[in-house]
Amino acid sequence: MKIMNKQLIVITLLLLVVNLKSYAQISKVEIIATGLTCSMCSNAINKQLKSLKEVDSISIDLNTNTFTVYLKKDNALKPRVLKEGVEKAGFFVGSMVMTVAFDNVDAQENKMVKVGEVNYVMVDSKAKTLNGETKVQVLDKGFVTSKEFKKLLKSYSKVPTYALENEDDYHIKTL
């Protein structure tokens, strides 16, 4: 009886460790916001992003309207939450580049990969294995400018999921 209890405790602890590891996915996000005209505009975005519990700190480059968001360890943040924060402040995302921790992921064109609770679809990827922190750009509508999205829509006609605008799948390319 004691042996079974010890085994149950060990199994439970192992499951907890595995679950914690799966959330450590995005460590940094670089967002270029569009529509800003003054420093008060950047302040509005800064306040919205800082209000997210997963955000550790933010640095802002006013010359390029770039917000570099550093996330807390073991966060379970989805990219759309950051996009919604920028939009809540009254602006738009022109570009989003994320630093994502991959664990031996086979990055093939059109392949869906799950990291933590986020689904990524690889586009513009040459077959390779992603391991460790990798910079990727989100290419979906709302994560690039409208003009850029129209171009990408034509380019990615071979990617059946790209035109669907599913908010749970993020089309990314490695940088």
Using a pLDDT cut of 70, give the percent of the chain over it: 86
The tokens describing 21, both together, are 């590891």
CATH class of the structural domain 25-174? alpha beta
pLDDT at res. 47: 95
The yes-or-no verdict on residue 22 having pLDDT over 70 is no
The yes-or-no verdict on residue 60 having pLDDT over 80 is yes
Q: Label residue 108 by pLDDT band (50, 70, 90).
A: confident
The yes-or-no verdict on residue 149 having pLDDT over 50 is yes
Q: Label residue 127 by pLDDT band (50, 70, 90).
A: low
Tell me the three-class secondary structure of the chain, residue by residue: CHHHHHHHHHHHHHHHHHHHHHHCCEEEEEEEEECCCCHHHHHHHHHHHHCCCCEEEEEEECCCCEEEEEECCCCCCCHHHHHHHHHHCCCEEEEEEEEEEEEEEEECCCCEEEECCEEEEECCCCCEEEEEEEEEEECCECCECHHHHHHHHHHCCCCCCHHHCCCCEEEEEEC
Backbone φ and ψ for 104, nearest 5 degrees, come out as 50, 55
pLDDT in tens, 36-48: 988 888 999 999 9
Report the 10 Å Cβ neighbour count for 5: 9
Mean pLDDT computed over 71-98: 94
pLDDT in tens, 158-168: 888 887 777 88
Instruction: Please report, for the chain, the start and end positions of each structural domain, with discontinuous segments joined by +.
Output: 25-174
Instruction: Tell me the pTM.
Output: 0.83
The yes-or-no verdict on residue 90 having pLDDT over 60 is yes
The yes-or-no verdict on residue 93 having pLDDT over 70 is yes
Dihedral of alpha carbons 126, 132, 135, 141, sign = positive
How far is the C-alpha of 155 from the C-alpha of 142, rounded, in Å?
A: 17
pLDDT at res. 109: 84
Mean pLDDT computed over 133-156: 93
To the nearest whole number, what is the mean pLDDT of the chain? 84
Q: Which is nearest to 118 in space by CA: 156, 171, 161, 154?
A: 171
